Amino acid sequence: MDGTAHDSNIEATVWAHLLTLSLTGSPPLYGLEDPHLTDAALPFIRVSFEAGEGEHSGRYAAGAQVMKTPLLVSFDLFWASGDQSSSGSGRPIRTAAAELADGMRQLTIEILDYVTAPATPSPLSPAAFLTFDKPISARALPAQTGILRRQVQAAGWWYLRHTI
């Protein structure tokens, strides 16, 4: 499997997990290149992925090595500033950001093969896992006219196995 296929499987696996989360305000999730992002109604969440440089972690067979590959997933939350009622749980954008952070905290997901069978993905063989075990970062971003913004970032890693 080439590097692009690995990246596609990682992103699809994270998306599948994200779609199981229940977030305050039910904001839709959009990728950076989603054509609906330009005309999205508030609230919404923009999701981006940034893979880092892998570091050699050893060999698992003759002529095959393992690379530990970092992944940063950023969630930019956009909310209408007038949609911030002072309910018992606080402002909805903060609540949604906290729920998103909780959904990614100490998370391990089995990576599925969406490239070979997008409709019915099965686990990669040998089994591979994506782990988010680093502290979650959450912060307010500067507001724009009529729009409140927050960002949540989850840092994780996965092992890439390949022949050399």
User: What tens digit of pLDDT does each residue of 88-141 get?
Assistant: 445 899 999 999 999 999 999 988 888 888 889 888 777 788 999 988 999 999
Residue 15's region, left for phi above 0, alpha for psi from -120 to 50, else beta, is: alpha
Domain with 86 in it: what CATH number?
3.30.2000.20
The residue-averaged pLDDT of 52-68 equals: 79
Q: Domain limits at 153?
A: 3-163
Computed over every residue of the chain, the mean pLDDT equals: 86
The residue-averaged pLDDT of 4-11 equals: 80
| CA nearest neighbour of 78 among 104, 105, 32, 40 | 40
Tell me, what's the pLDDT at 67? 80
Dist CA 162 CA 144 (whole Å): 45
- Residue 63 predicted with pLDDT over 50: yes
- Residue 161 predicted with pLDDT over 50: yes
Number of structural domains found in the chain: 1
- Residue 85 predicted with pLDDT over 70: no
pLDDT per residue over 16-34, tens digit each? 999 999 999 999 999 998 9
